[in-house]
Chains A and B, each alone.
Chain A
Amino acid sequence: MTLSTLLSADLPYWAQSLLRVLGGLVAVLLPAGTIVYLFLFKMMSFMQSRLGPMEAGPQGSMQLFAEVGKWLQKEDIYPARADKFIFKLAPLIVLASTFLLVVVVPFGPDAIFTDFESGVFYALAVSSVSVLGILIAGWASANKYSLLGGLRAAGQLIAYELPMVLAVVGVVIQAGTMNLQQIVVAQNAGSMFGFSSLGNPYVITQFVGFIVFMIAVQAELTQTPFDMPIAESELVSGYMTEYSGFRFLIFFIGEFATAGVFSMIASVLFLGGWAVPFSWFGWTTIDSIDNWMNVVGPLILFTKMIAVVFFIMWIRFSYPRFREDQLQKFAWKVLIPVSLANIMVTAILKVAF
């Protein structure tokens, strides 16, 4: 069950490790680049009645490389009173959390980094590590706006992690496993009331959980309406204020790569992941799936990810920012009770049927 079986060759350990690292880089950077070009450049421009970048390459598609080149050649500056080591460490912690997150996402029947028994739990745990990086980025910048942004981010991410975990519990109860690969199988091999041509994507049975999860993801990614930590009209740019050049680039990649990875996890948990309903091709278990799904699977997952990110960005470009107290009230008084009720109903129905 490794990438080596995908290539039908018995690779040595170092080659497998190299493949995994390369696969991880692609799985993090490709969605990030696609999201930035497709949504941040083009969709935002369309919604604001302008063209966006048009000069570099056809339809401005090379603009991304120009931007990266610009950031990379900028001078590496930091404030005189900053805590230099921690200032440099902070963006790396944020990016590392993204790379740790992508490890559990299944891309195909054999195209997985690791078949992890407690995959969902692991994903929720490592995603919380990025809070640490954001918090110390705000502190080490020696800037009041940065510190305020860091504190706001910590309060917000902690508050929205709870509904996220609780929303996932419903899926875990229904699938009976925390293994993301098994969750994909359970959705696509399942049936709704004996009607199996669509499988059983949990977006239908766990619709409440899906909505709560997507709202929590929006908040975890600090996208508008939940962008208080980097509120540009109040805090300059929050915890990122003092960062420039390639250190800002790391934060930027981290933000959109995490958006991609979280959308992949949402697709895996609620939209059926990499698979198509097994009844379409007469598959029954994961072992009977044809090998070509290892190539088509990642593309299907990528398409679903783009669709999920589209909704995240649509909301981002459409709504104004929450107020800080509204944000906390919404998490603690609306999302958490709703997701707890969802868990109870799911558990009762699971036992009843």
Chain B
Amino acid sequence: MFASDVLVAQNIGFAIIATIMVVGALRVVTTSNVVHAALWLVVVLAGAAAQYVLLAAEFVAITQVLVYIGAVMVLFLFGTMLTRARIGAESDLNNKNWFFGIPVALALFVAMAMALDSGFGSQKMPADPAVATTQEISDQIFGPYLLPFWALSFVLLAAVVGAIVLARRD
């Protein structure tokens, strides 16, 4: 029934996690409570981490958990709870521009799907994927990709300096 190069277990795992992620992503925009939306976003981000594990990319998966769930979402929830986070449904959460937003989102989805398909469409996961060790990744970052790494560091530094400038009004 299946060709021998189709990875059944991985595909089933991918399908389950992807379904959870799609449902979570839809609930992020349809739920009527800010904190619930943030928690559904956590589900989506955790799903992404699970997909990375499925691709044998443990370092990226751990980074996803550390950065997005442990820091970004916590700060997001922190900010929401400091300002406005009522319990129960809120009626004024829907943006009136959703009419324009949905076509843009769909166009972005199609463009990214096409880019991925033309870029990697013919490639297949090896049956026994080699785990990219942290050492290999760091060798790559501090070798051929050193310049982009530095550029990113400067972007982050600029953001930190900007935050200090905004916070200090003296």
Contact = CB atoms under 8 A, between A and B. Distances in A.
Contacts of A138: 81
A54 interface: no
B87 A140 contact: yes
A116 B134 CA distance: 11
Interface stretch (A61-69, A81-89, A186-194): A81-89
A83 B87 CA distance: 6
B110 to A, nearest CB: 33
Interface stretch (B72-80, B112-120, B142-150): B72-80
Interface string A130-168: 011001101110100001001100110010010000000
B70 interface: yes
Interface in B17-39: 33, 35-36, 39
A336 interface: no
Interface stretch (A121-129, A292-300, A317-325, A342-350): A121-129
A154 B77 contact: yes
B42 interface: yes
Given A118-B62, A151-B82, A132 B35 contact: no
B138 to A, nearest CB: 10
Given A86-B35, A132-B73, A158-B71, A142 B87 contact: yes
A128 B69 contact: yes
A261 B96 CA distance: 49
A132 B42 contact: yes
A129 B69 contact: yes
B136 to A, nearest CB: 10
Chain A, interface size: which category? Answer: 20 to 34
A158 B62 contact: no
Contact of B78 (A82, A118, A151): A151
A121 B33 CA distance: 33
Secondary structure call for the A interface: helix
A193 B33 CA distance: 61
Given A125-B65, A151-B82, A117 B131 contact: yes
Nearest to B49: A125
B134 A117 contact: yes
A124 B66 contact: yes
B81 A151 contact: yes
Contacts of A139: 35, 77, 81, 85, 87
B14 interface: no
A138 B80 CA distance: 13
A178 interface: yes
B78 A154 contact: yes
A135 B81 contact: yes
B161 to A, nearest CB: 16
B141 to A, nearest CB: 14
B74 A131 contact: yes
Contacts of B66: 121, 124-125, 128
A128 B81 CA distance: 19
B81 A147 contact: yes
B70 A129 contact: yes
B52 interface: no
A128 B49 CA distance: 15
Contacts of A86: 35-36, 39
Contacts of A140: 87
A131 B134 contact: no
A336 to B, nearest CB: 13
B134 A121 contact: yes
Nearest to A87: B87
Given A131-B70, A139-B35, A154-B77, 12 more contacts: A117-B58, A117-B134, A125-B66, A129-B65, A132-B42, A132-B69, A132-B77, A136-B39, A150-B81, A151-B82, A154-B74, A158-B75
28 contacts: A83-B87, A116-B58, A117-B131, A118-B58, A118-B59, A118-B62, A121-B59, A121-B66, A122-B62, A125-B62, A125-B65, A125-B66, A125-B70, A128-B66, A128-B71, A129-B69, A131-B70, A135-B78, A136-B39, A139-B77, A139-B81, A139-B85, A147-B81, A151-B78, A151-B82, A154-B74, A155-B78, A158-B78
